Amino acid sequence: MHTAYLEAKRAIDDRSINRTVWDAMVRLVADSGGDVVRIAEIGAGTGTMIDRLRDWGALGPDGVAGRTATYDAWEMNPDTAAVLAERTAASEFARAEVHVGDLREWTGDAHFDLVIAHAVLDLFSPQEVAALMDRLLTDRGVLYASIVFDGVTLMEPAIDAEIDDKVLRLYHRSMRQGFGRRQLWHLWDAGFEIVATGSSDWVIPPRRNGPRPEERELVGTILEMMRGAVTGQLEAGASSNGDLTVERLNRWIDQRHRQLQAGDLFFAAHQIDFVARR
């Protein structure tokens, strides 16, 4: 499921990634000097970023901007990491290593010119991110963060305005880690320069013939994540939630699934991309 979700998400990420921010990252890396470009990716999933680097012209047979490039990736899910290892093996990197496990437990001391964090930064607290970047980046190293969830989800049509609000509020509250703007603020406070930023929202429109397969997979998975997260909040007693019970929540999620299948749902998640440099 995890791998299928990541591969479906890929098509929607492709149309959502902010290309102005991407171009700023590519320019900075091209100008960074040195014979070798050392790239790290955290929470790399199946390695879709390797394909993007190639497909969007940043990675070629000669490496990055004509310089040899190396790639170290961290991925804690072993099934996902296996797909990632296949992608790295077929890549243009002069050296590529997949570290299977939790990045937080890594004890190495390598430094990188570019750290990529795609659709993963919001799983870390802002304090953790700043400390990790201090550890991983060279003096002029660059963090490229994309698809960083910023704590806003929109769904229409309304089912019941009050319940709609409560479900989304509890869903967002369940994500204790850093939303995008909090990551930005914390890096700024820690002395990083925010070189480029822009939005990268996922927007899934209503469709007369039903959702595209990748939209069905993405939004369907998010609805189930929402069911789990909000149930957890309700069971942990996060209520003053009046009418919102687990039973009501289940009916609400089921109805959203029906709207999705019928192509009658507008879904958007607000996300940001940014480039930060020390």
Ligand X SMILES: C[S@@+](CC[C@H](N)C(=O)[O-])C[C@H]1O[C@@H](n2cnc3c(N)ncnc32)[C@H](O)[C@@H]1O
Question: Residues in the site for ligand X, rule: CB under 6 A?
Answer: 6, 43-46, 48, 74-77, 80, 102-104, 118-120, 123
In the complex, minimum distance from the CB of residue 276 to ligand X, in angstroms, rounded to a whole number: 17
As measured in angstroms, the least distance from the Cβ of 163 to ligand X is 27
Q: Which is nearer to ligand X, 80 or 233 (CB)?
A: 80
Residue 232, SS3 per DSSP: helix
Tell me whether the omega of the peptide bond preceding residue 157 falls within 30 degrees of 0, making it cis: yes
- Identify which of residues 71 and 252 has a Cβ nearer to ligand X in the complex: 71
- For the bound state, the minimum distance from the C-beta of residue 247 to ligand X, rounded and expressed in Å, comes to 29
Q: Which is nearer to ligand X, 82 or 159 (CB)?
A: 82
Give 65 or 123: the residue with its C-beta nearer to ligand X: 123
- Kindly state the smallest distance separating residue 179's Cβ from ligand X, in Å: 15
Q: Which is nearer to ligand X, 19 or 104 (CB)?
A: 104
Query: In this structure, how many other beta carbons lie within 10 angstroms of the beta carbon of residue 250?
Result: 13
Measured between alpha carbons, how far is 37 from 111 in angstroms, rounded to an integer?
11
| DSSP β-bridge partners for residue 202 | 269
Smallest distance, ligand X to C-beta of residue 277, A: 21
Which residues are CB-neighbours of 92 under 8 A, at least 6 positions away? 54, 59, 60, 61, 62, 63, 69
CB of 210 to ligand X, least distance (A): 24
Q: Which residues contact 186 (CB under 8 A, 6 or more apart)?
A: 126, 127, 129, 130, 178
Question: The tokens of 247 are what?
Answer: 């039973």
Report in angstroms the alpha-carbon separations of 82 from 41, 46, 76, 98, 131: 15, 8, 11, 9, 28
Task: Kindly tell me which of 82 and 238 has the beta carbon lying closer to ligand X.
Answer: 82
